[in-house]
């Protein structure tokens, strides 16, 4: 029996394909730079049991597996690196299994999208806090948990989505299915907490970029959704990096989310603002030259909201040139972003604004806020040094967005934008890798590694040797035949 | 390379096709305010097909790119996947839709018209010899001779007319384009409209030699036959000396209003849907409502009327005018309405699929608590009625014109 027949026996004819005209669509994700290879096989399981059977078949035939969720990755994470692979499209496993309002948790199948989950939770007055990755409403829980995603909204208050995961069911490369979290205790009725019962082995699978197993179910914290919110947008003409850094550090001193209810805080640096204003994408921003910050804070009472608004605004005015707003028509992006727009994904427009003739790559990293300005300046210096190479590759470099996290860090969203020219792609990939290496060596933590980033972490010897050696041992334990997402982290 | 396989149409739209950046709003997105978003599972093909990437817009763009780049070759299997789309236009609606005029975004604008791209892809597949679907080919073979897709005789097109009907063959206030569904299948709609017109003294011109509007041809990529039928209709319309055409079918309306001007240079007819006319006549008092209809109503927006042509308010005003117990919107309505499942050649090409989609829509209508499910497209009506029967629904599925007739 051929492998396609065995897979068909598991999921049925309707959900299994070896046809190139179906499978070709799985060669692509948001990243347009890395090679697009058509996988030979695609399956869409509907249950953990089917996933187990698929992995057993993969082991039998020694055929690699590539789990895929919403396909919204920007680092090639769900792009096949070879045609000899079974792409496991997890999006059929999209049920909400339990909303536990007493314990503030929700248990879901990992193919469920963040948007669908939150739409249901909103009806009940809850949300997941961190709304998932910035890569889109179509992104799924499993993908977000595989990448420590966070930029989709709420990470300023709730951190990365993985910080809100308290239960996880994973199918290993051995075909075993293990549940992590409080349900490691077989007497726990419903998952309610992550830590305890010994070491936190769930962490092996969070941020694994889909290499350590296939996530099938997850339990996430849910939070009551505050009914009141407010937000402002400000323009910073001079020294935006330093001013933003100082502003954020002062806001942290005032309690950040706990003290001020800050939900999100975004900084759009000058080159990105210039991109917006040059193309007149936000008409009300006119032709400002400088950086822009916008923030949203929430509260359970109007009084608290007003007090916090006053405090945050006072601090903002110290470090900024002028307000853009207060209305959306006057440039206050928060009302559109959080209030009336309907979703909080600012990046969609960023991805697409370049048009068909250009594309963007990402070298997004987590850095300490205290080093944000320094790292941004170093990135600017790198761009100057690499000016000739960038020119030859018909590419530009820059930071497009900085997203604050709670406590002490932020995501620096940076990368390249390049002309969509097949002949230049190798040059662009080379520069992309160099930028990833630079940012890592400046002390950035690459959280969303995917295909290219995970390889740079190894090739550029970013990891300590003991860690990487240990990492490989763990990989061997959970996936002895190295079937799941081979190639990432150079496994 | 065989010229016919060169995908000339989608190559001309290459920039548009490559503007899709694969975000996937077409699979799963939210509209409305953050405080109360509406989840839009907008794609019937994605919901009821195999759910693969190619079953929604993003994947289909990738497929188109692969054909342009020669990574894959056209085949009948490929055509089947492409033709399973109803061309409802929901993907175009939700694609990177900012909904804020102050934020000018380019993604959707760069892509342009998703529906047009899908139709051009189909036309290229027809040229390549792998489309349309076998069932469509049977229909078109008949249509070439008898000018309708229902395997009926052309000369029987007006058999539904009551013997004492007052209609003209030229002159008149409006040219009433009957359409094939109203002529051969749901002819109570045409009779109803004529009766309404008669009661209020509007003179309708009907052309015995009207052919199919060509919608099914344009939707399935059979451009030549579509153009032939459009050209014929144009000539016979001209001969009536009337400038305003009214249609009771959303598909005919869309085709005459949006497609014909693209194909016929001198097209200068004003095209109305019957519900626009009724709305106008109620507003200016020419239609007087005697007794309102009891029972809560809901309304299904036909894709060709709503998303394609922007006609949302006229039917709702009419419903408000004629109903006694209230109107409740379906959860997915107006620009976010869920397709009935019949359009784009899907009803004939994939009848079970079309029925499944319609059953979804019936369930959504039932959730409103309405007694009446109204619509204003005979194609939607037919499919929704089939679904209501299949689902043992108690909903009364009617064309809005039927209700109007009963109260004037």
Per-residue pLDDT reduced to its tens digit, A76-98: 999 999 999 999 999 999 999 99
Rounded CA separation B16/A479 (Å): 42
Cross-chain Cβ contact A356/B53 below 8 Å:
no
Match 């003209």 to its residue by tokens.
B168
Minimal-distance CA residue of chain A relative to B62: A25
Minimal-distance CA residue of chain B relative to A70: B24
Torsion of CA B379, B385, B386, B390, to 10 degrees: 160
H or E element: which one contains A402?
Answer: strand A395-404
Cross-chain Cβ contact A348/B96 below 8 Å:
yes
pLDDT at B1: 46
Query: What tokens does A439 get?
Result: 């940012």
Other Cβ atoms within 10 Å of B145 Cβ, number: 9
**Facing A356 at nearest CB: one of B15, B27, B58:** B15
Residues of chain B contacting A326 with CB distance shorter than 8 Å: none
Q: Which of B20, B34, B46 to mutate to test the interface with A (most CBs of A within 10 A)?
A: B34
Rounded to the nearest 5 degrees, what angle is found at the Cα of A38, between the Cα atoms of B130 and A170?
125
Minimal-distance CA residue of chain B relative to A122: B36
Cross-chain Cβ contact B50/A44 below 8 Å:
yes
Question: Which A residues, 25 through 54, put their C-beta within 8 Å of a C-beta on chain B?
Answer: 25-30, 32, 38, 42, 44
Cross-chain Cβ contact A329/B102 below 8 Å:
yes
**Residues of chain B scoring pLDDT < 50:** 1
Cross-chain Cβ contact B71/A24 below 8 Å:
yes
Question: Which A residues, 64 through 103, put their C-beta within 8 Å of a C-beta on chain B?
Answer: 70-72, 89, 91-92
Q: Per residue in A379-438, pLDDT tens?
A: 999 999 999 999 999 999 999 999 999 989 999 999 999 998 989 999 999 999 999 999
Minimum distance, in Å, between the CA of residue A331 and any CA atom of chain B:
8
Residues of chain B contacting A71 with CB distance shorter than 8 Å: 22, 24, 53, 58
Provide the b/e sequence for A276-297 (b: ≥16 CB within 10 Å).
bbeeebbebbeebebbbbbbbb
Higher pLDDT, A243 or A346: A243
Residue pairs between chains A and B whose CB atoms are closer than 8 Å? 192
Alpha helix (H) residue ranges in A18-140: 20-23, 48-61, 114-123
Q: Tell whether B76 lies on the interface with A, counting CB pairs under 8 A.
A: no
Q: Tell whether A3 lies on the interface with B, counting CB pairs under 8 A.
A: no
Rounded CA separation A99/B407 (Å): 48
Longest Cα–Cα distance of chain A, Å, equals 71
Cross-chain Cβ contact A340/B81 below 8 Å:
no
Residues of chain B contacting A284 with CB distance shorter than 8 Å: 102
Asked if residues B169 and B205 have their Cβ atoms less than 8 Å apart, the reply is yes
Rounded CA separation B74/A64 (Å): 28
**Facing B52 at nearest CB: one of A17, A20, A113:** A17
pLDDT band per the 50, 70, 90 thresholds, residue A327:
confident
Minimal-distance CA residue of chain A relative to B40: A116
Residues of chain A contacting B117 with CB distance shorter than 8 Å: none
Minimum distance, in Å, between the CA of residue B227 and any CA atom of chain A:
30
Question: Which A residues, 461 through 490, put their C-beta within 8 Å of a C-beta on chain B?
Answer: none
Q: Tell whether B352 lies on the interface with A, counting CB pairs under 8 A.
A: no
Q: Tell whether A338 lies on the interface with B, counting CB pairs under 8 A.
A: yes
Residues of chain B contacting A109 with CB distance shorter than 8 Å: none
Minimum distance, in Å, between the CA of residue B22 and any CA atom of chain A:
5
Cross-chain Cβ contact B62/A353 below 8 Å:
no
pLDDT band per the 50, 70, 90 thresholds, residue A299:
very high
Cross-chain Cβ contact A351/B30 below 8 Å:
no
Rounded CA separation A32/A38 (Å): 14
Of A125, A98, A119, A92, which is closest to residue B332 (Cα–Cα)?
A119
Minimum distance, in Å, between the CA of residue B65 and any CA atom of chain A:
10
Q: Which of B13, B16, B26, B28 to mutate to test the interface with A (most CBs of A within 10 A)?
A: B28
Alpha helix (H) residue ranges in A207-353: 240-253, 256-260, 270-278, 302-319, 333-334, 347-353
Cross-strand pairs, A180: A168
H or E element: which one contains A366?
Answer: strand A365-368
Query: What tokens does B140 get?
Result: 């078109």
Mean confidence (pLDDT) of chain A: 93
Could you give phi then psi for residue B170, rounded to 5 degrees?
-160, 170
Minimum distance, in Å, between the CA of residue B24 and any CA atom of chain A:
6
Residues of chain B contacting A351 with CB distance shorter than 8 Å: 21, 23, 107
Q: Would you tell me the crossing angle of helices B223-238 and B134-146 to the nearest 10 degrees?
A: 30
Other Cβ atoms within 10 Å of A179 Cβ, number: 18
Rounded to the nearest 5 degrees, what angle is found at the Cα of A396, between the Cα atoms of A392 and A402?
155
Cross-chain Cβ contact A44/B52 below 8 Å:
yes
pLDDT band per the 50, 70, 90 thresholds, residue A348:
low
Pairing of strands A96-100, A105-109: antiparallel
Q: Tell whether B21 lies on the interface with A, counting CB pairs under 8 A.
A: yes
ipTM for this model = 0.93
B250 upstream amide cis, omega within 30 of 0: no
Cross-chain Cβ contact B50/A420 below 8 Å:
no
Q: Which of B91, B102, B131, B336 to mutate to test the interface with A (most CBs of A within 10 A)?
A: B102
CA B258, chain centre distance (Å): 11
pLDDT band per the 50, 70, 90 thresholds, residue A20:
very high
Residues of chain B contacting A14 with CB distance shorter than 8 Å: 50
Minimum distance, in Å, between the CA of residue A281 and any CA atom of chain B:
5
Q: Per residue in A120-148, pLDDT tens?
A: 898 899 999 998 888 777 899 999 999 99
Minimal-distance CA residue of chain B relative to A420: B18
pLDDT at A341: 57
DSSP string over B318-345? HHHHHBSS-B---SS-GGGPPP-S-TTT
Rounded CA separation A180/A170 (Å): 8
pLDDT at A305: 97
Q: Tell whether B24 lies on the interface with A, counting CB pairs under 8 A.
A: yes
How many residues belong to chain B?
408
pLDDT at B103: 66
Q: Tell whether A19 lies on the interface with B, counting CB pairs under 8 A.
A: yes
Q: Tell whether A21 lies on the interface with B, counting CB pairs under 8 A.
A: yes
């Amino acid at each position: 029996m051929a492998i396609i027949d065995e897979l068909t026996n598991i999921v049925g004819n309707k959900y299994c394909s070896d046809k190139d005209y179906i499978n070709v669509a799985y060669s692509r994700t948001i990243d347009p730079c890395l090679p697009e290879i058509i996988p030979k096989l695609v399956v869409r399981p509907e249950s953990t049991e089917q996933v187990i059977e698929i992995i057993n078949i993969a082991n039998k035939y020694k055929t690699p597996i590539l789990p895929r969720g919403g396909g919204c990755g920007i680092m090639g994470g769900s792009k096949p690196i070879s045609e000899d692979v079974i792409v496991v499209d997890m999006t059929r496993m999209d049920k909400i299994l339990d909303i536990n309002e007493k314990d503030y948790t929700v248990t879901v199948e990992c193919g469920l999208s963040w948007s669908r989950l939150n739409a249901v939770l909103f009806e009940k007055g809850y949300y997941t806090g961190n709304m998932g990755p910035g890569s889109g409403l179509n992104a799924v829980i499993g993908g977000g948990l595989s990448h420590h995603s966070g930029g989709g909204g709420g990470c300023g208050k709730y951190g990365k989505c993985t910080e809100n995961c308290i239960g996880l069911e994973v199918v290993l490369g051995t075909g075993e299915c293990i549940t992590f979290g409080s349900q490691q205790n077989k007497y726990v009725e419903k998952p309610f907490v992550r830590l305890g019962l010994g070491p936190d082995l769930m962490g092996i699978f969070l941020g694994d970029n889909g290499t350590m197993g296939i996530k099938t179910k997850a339990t996430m914290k849910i939070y009551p959704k505050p009914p009141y919110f407010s937000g402002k947008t400000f323009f910073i003409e001079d020294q935006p990096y330093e001013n933003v850094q100082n502003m954020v550090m002062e806001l942290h001193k005032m309690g950040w989310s706990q003290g001020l209810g800050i939900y999100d805080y975004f900084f759009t640096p000058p080159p990105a603002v210039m991109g917006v204003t040059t193309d007149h994408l936000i008409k009300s921003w006119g032709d400002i030259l400088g950086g822009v910050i916008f923030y949203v804070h929430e509260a359970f009472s109007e009084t608290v909201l007003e007090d916090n608004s006053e405090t945050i605004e006072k601090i903002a005015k110290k470090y900024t040139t002028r307000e853009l707003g207060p209305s959306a028509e006057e440039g206050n992006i928060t009302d559109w972003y959080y209030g009336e727009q309907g979703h909080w994904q600012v990046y969609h427009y960023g991805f697409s604004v370049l048009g068909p003739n250009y594309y963007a790559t990402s070298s997004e990293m987590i850095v300490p806020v205290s080093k944000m300005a320094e790292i941004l300046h170093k990135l600017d210096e790198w761009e100057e040094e690499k000016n000739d190479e960038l020119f030859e590759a018909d590419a530009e470099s820059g930071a497009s967005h900085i997203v604050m996290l709670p406590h002490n860090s932020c995501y620096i969203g940076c990368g390249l934008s390049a002309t969509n020219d097949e002949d230049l792609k190798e040059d662009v990939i080379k520069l992309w890798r160099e930028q990833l290496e630079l940012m890592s060596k400046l002390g950035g933590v690459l959280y969303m590694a995917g295909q290219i980033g995970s390889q740079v972490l190894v090739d550029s010897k970013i990891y300590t040797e003991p860690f990487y050696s240990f990492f490989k041992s763990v990989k061997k334990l959970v996936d002895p035949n190295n079937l799941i997402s081979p190639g990432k982290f150079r496994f | 390379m065989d010229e016919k396989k060169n995908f000339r149409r989608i190559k001309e739209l290459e920039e548009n096709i490559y503007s899709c950046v694969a975000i996937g709003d077409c699979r799963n997105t939210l509209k409305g305010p953050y405080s109360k978003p509406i989840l839009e599972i907008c794609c019937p093909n994605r919901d009821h097909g195999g759910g693969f990437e190619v079953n929604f817009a993003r994947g289909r763009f990738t497929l188109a790119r692969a054909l342009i780049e020669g990574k894959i070759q056209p085949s009948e299997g490929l055509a089947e996947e492409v033709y399973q789309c109803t061309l409802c236009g929901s993907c175009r609606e939700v694609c990177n839709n900012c909904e804020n005029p102050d934020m000018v975004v380019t993604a959707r604008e760069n892509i342009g018209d998703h529906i047009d791209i899908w139709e051009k892809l189909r036309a290229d597949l027809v040229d390549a010899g792998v489309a349309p679907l076998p069932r469509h080919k049977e229909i078109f073979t008949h249509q070439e001779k008898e000018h309708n897709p229902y395997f009926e005789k052309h000369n029987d097109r007006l058999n539904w007319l009551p013997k004492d009907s007052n209609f003209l063959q030229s002159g008149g206030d409006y040219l009433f384009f009957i359409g094939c569904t109203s002529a051969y299948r749901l002819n109570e709609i045409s009779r109803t409209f004529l009766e309404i017109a008669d009661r209020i003294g509007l003179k309708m011109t009907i052309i015995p030699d009207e052919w199919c509007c060509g919608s099914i041809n344009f939707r399935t990529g059979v451009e030549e036959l579509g153009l032939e039928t459009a050209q014929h209709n144009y000539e016979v319309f001209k001969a009536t000396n009337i400038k305003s055409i009214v249609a009771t079918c959303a598909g005919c309306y869309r085709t005459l209003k949006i497609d014909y001007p693209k194909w016929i240079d001198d097209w200068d007819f004003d095209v109305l849907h019957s519900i626009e006319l009724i709305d106008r006549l109620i507003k200016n008092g020419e239609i007087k409502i005697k007794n309102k209809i009891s029972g809560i109503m809901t309304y299904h927006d036909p894709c060709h009327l709503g998303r394609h042509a922007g006609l949302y308010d006229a039917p709702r005003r009419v419903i408000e005018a004629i109903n006694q117990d209230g109107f409740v919107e379906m959860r997915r309505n107006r620009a976010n309405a869920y397709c009935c499942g019949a359009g784009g050649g899907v009803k004939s090409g994939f009848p079970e699929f079309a029925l499944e989609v319609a059953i979804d829509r019936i369930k959504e209508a039932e959730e409103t608590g309405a007694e009446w499910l109204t619509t204003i497209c005979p194609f939607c009506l037919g499919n929704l009625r089939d679904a209501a029967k299949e689902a043992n629904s108690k909903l009364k599925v009617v064309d809005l014109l039927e209700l109007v007739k009963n109260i004037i």
